Structure 1
Amino acid sequence: MMQPVLPPACYTEQGWFDREQEKIFGKLWLLAGLTQQLQAENDFIVRNFSGVPVLIQNAGGTLRAFRNACAHRGMPIQIADCGNRRLVCPYHGWSYNGDGQLRGIPNEKIYGLCKKEQANLKLHSYAVETVGNFVFVNLSDDPLPITEQFSDDLLLLLREVSPHFAPEVSYSTFTGHYNWKLNFENILDWNHFQFVHRQSLAPLLEFEGDGGPGEPLTQHSPFFRPGSALADVRFSRGGPPAESVRLKDLSIIKRYAMPYRRRWFAKLLDRTLDPGAFFDCNIFPNVNFGSIHGEHFYLQQFVPTAPDRVEYHSWVFTARLKDGVPPQPHLLWGIHHAEKGVVDEDVVLFNALQKALESASTIGVMGDHETSITAIGHWYKRHLTEENARNVLMAGDGSHHP
């Protein structure tokens, strides 16, 4: 038995939320989207992180990230959530080059800006890292290397599975009335499957005598079989040591036994990439990525907007289709609809738990299988209460020197 690390205040109070925005979401690499959404010149997506409007745009084949605000009056350059449009302010027509530098001003003379002043005008940019098809943005002026946030195993997995993604993606978002950490803790907790998802997810899985999920085989998996690029990836059954946890220990990869049942759309796919298994990447601070049999993939992100409110972002897509098979929007809709049903089973409980935490002075006890949740709690408290937050990021490692 373990005592919970975080008090209820970490889930309910504005002060803790403000520190999270500064020291976690303002410092770490955050998922922005997928390259499938940014294939063509001038394709863009717009996100909001920690109250910061962020624009990610395909500029001549290079992905760039900017504050979504014109250098003139701060008007968003792109109004829609996604689309294809040049970097032109819709308010007064100021335009920008792919690197964010001011390109031109209609009715230039009325502004009274000399050439030197114009040369100094540009969009505020942010660091971008693409790992396979996954696009990450960092809002810090001095971003840490992404290899200090994520393990080699996780980065390798994201790169190796990406070439197998179909180009078509279904994307949706909704608002939840609970703290974002409840989502991330929940994806670490396999023990809730048999109780919360009794009729949806649990019947698809295989459980052992102690109630834990079964171990899947690897020899039939193109992803993980011996000799494959991912053969040596380490899967977690619990979590890292609670007291000595490093930042890169907070993201873990899990793989569970899921007896293979051929689904109707398998015949449309180029191949089944991980039959008999369900793998899941819990990517700190707020992302969950995984696959069912390597036939379809899900990507979820929990973006905090208030201590008791979260934007839930969801992407689903399949493995590559066979040559000649047209896009299958009805299939993606069906997969997304089924996934939302599972998510809703969690959300009902998160809403109730959030209300209970608002009046709680303590949280109960935790089991030995919940070490990954307590490890995050230790890192969280140390990081958010330590004055030198940058050094704390790599406590126990010492590999990053600002």
Structure 2
Amino acid sequence: MNDSKKISFCILILFLFGTAVVANEAHDTLKQALKMIGGHAIYTLSARRIEEIVACMDEKLKLSATRNIWDHEFNFMGCLDEDPYARYIPTASLVQHLLDPYHIGYTGIDATLSKDEGFIYIHEIAQKSPAAQSGLEKGDVIRTINNKSVGAMDLETMRQSLFHRPPDSEIMLHVERNGILLAKPLKLQLGRRSFVQEEILTEHTAYFAISAFPSGLVTQEVIPILQKFSARGIKSVILDLTENGGGLAGSASEFLELFVPSENRLLLEMRARHEVLRYISSKRGNYADWNIVVIVSKACASACEIVAKGLQQMGYGIIGKESTFGKGSFQDFYPIAEQGKILFTKGFFFFADNTSPEKNGIRPDYLMREEALLLITAHDMLLDQKILHESSLLHVLPQKVSLPKIKRAPRK
């Protein structure tokens, strides 16, 4: 064998060996994670079943050819049928969207970080996000952050430099687009996430919508808004949960404590294989004497259903076109590699009446088939009279509506 063939052969061997090492590392990490998860989830996983899942994920994600497997979110659909909610989430996404969204600036970027290639590749840009406003586009490659080469950074430094900065931080990015480095750097100003929208409807009524229940929601957004309403003498509010897909059970329970009519009241019980966690009110809520009507939809799930059912059991009225989604399970995180965590189903939650929303959801007290009339009907429930008030939320609705008399549940 001549020297050139020997060199080519050696390169091939090194390439194959390197790929095998990556694959084995990914396989071993995934196997270990599944073994640990199987000991705490609502289901068990035998050694044979774990091998089947890893083989399936290898086929699905091409573990043998993917060097940055842990940099991008993926699910286990089609491989881990025992758990429809199982998925892997990078730490940057978890922190930004759920665990600490108020102290970490929002970018709107979904990207792969590669130390070996020395770049950050942008997979997706959220609409109307800071990244979209900066001029970044899907497919862009970030080469420098604040004039520091991405190629000289390790993965943790990349994450800290781009994703773990305070809100309102400004970052200068040199970007490569379609193989050509842009002449001027792009300025990315990190945003602040908000999960609550609010509006004063009348002299005595207000509206607020919550899109999720992340950590810190109550102290960062809800209480300031309720204080604002209270300062104007408003104690009758419409709570819109129609676009709320869930969040953290602890955040949902913290929200319920604002309105609970008494101390030592069981708000929620979370039952797992090896433990039971109960959320019990410590005192009467500061807003327990308020009047609330809640609007729900089929999209309302998980933590959203905890809030809807909790308020319903306290005697507040629930209105909607149909029952809520019906997700009574809760998930926990298992850290995998250093970049992220696997979400897996750990148990089911139950309310004070020993029921769970699993599969059946929460049935509204009043079913309103005409979606366009949900808001005005909720407002009518607040006032016990059929009066349409002017506001940016209500002015598009019919000037007159004919509604049946609504009997509100007694406060408990």
Q: TM-score, normalised by structure 1?
A: 0.29
Whichever of the two has the greater Rg, that structure is: 2
Q: TM-score, normalised by structure 2?
A: 0.28
Considering Cα pairs closer than 8 Å and 6+ residues apart, tell me whether 1 or 2 has the greater RCO. 1
